[in-house]
Structure 1
Amino acid sequence: MATGINTAKTKLEINTSGSTYVQVKGFTDFSGMGGGSAAVIDTTDFDSDAKEKAMGLPDEGQVSVSLIFLPKDAGQAAMRAARNTRAATKFRVTLSDGTKYEFTAYVLTFERGGNQDEVVKATSNLEVTGAMTETVAAGV
């Protein structure tokens, strides 16, 4: 029976300078990693019997994250700063088993919202630029 990877202790980190990463606290949800697609290039010529195609460069798409809004958290502040400066920023998601996903992205949005009888939450869309690196934890 497969047990899968527990989401508890999954971490989101943002690079603040050089090799220094800061954890983004309040991280509750993520989606979209590996969800991008590639362009399809038409390579059909007059000798073709049917459409012929090649795969273009992969586009890693967007990663969406949900957070409990913590305005004084250094990681969330770094995300808001990256959005304001429009800087391509390095991110790292580490799963509870140690598997890591590293990518560079633009912080497109950092929205806050709330509902009755809940804490204020934030959502952010990260536009990935370049390749996403997956490092599978040893023993997995």
Structure 2
Amino acid sequence: LKIEEENRALGSIKNTDIGIMIQKKKRSETKEYLTKEERKQMEDTFDQFMPSFKEKLWSVYDISNRELNVCMLIKLGCKPADMACLLGCTPSAISKIRIRLYKKFFNKPGSAEDWDRFILAL
């Protein structure tokens, strides 16, 4: 039941204005960044449809806005290269953020993919 509810919430997020905007920008040839307002709208949308997502992350570690953006984009199924374009950084920076977050949360080394699995299961 929890998985069904989560899938429904993710589907709802993807069908909001910001969800559609993220998909559009991901496919754009011009590689447009998410604006500060769009990142805030994404966070507000997550708060609306998945209120415990941010709370679960912050209950363990006080993550930065950039780290939260990466986590939300992982949850939405974005690839690292897409996240890099959307957030205006390199794919390497995205990988480092994911690796660093895994170490902060689990107090042991892990891969970027380990972090993705954790976020997708959250």
Higher relative contact order (CA 8 A, sep 6+): 1
Larger fraction in strand: 1
Larger fraction in helix: 2
* Fold equivalence (TM over 0.5): no
Structure-2-length-normalised TM-score: 0.29
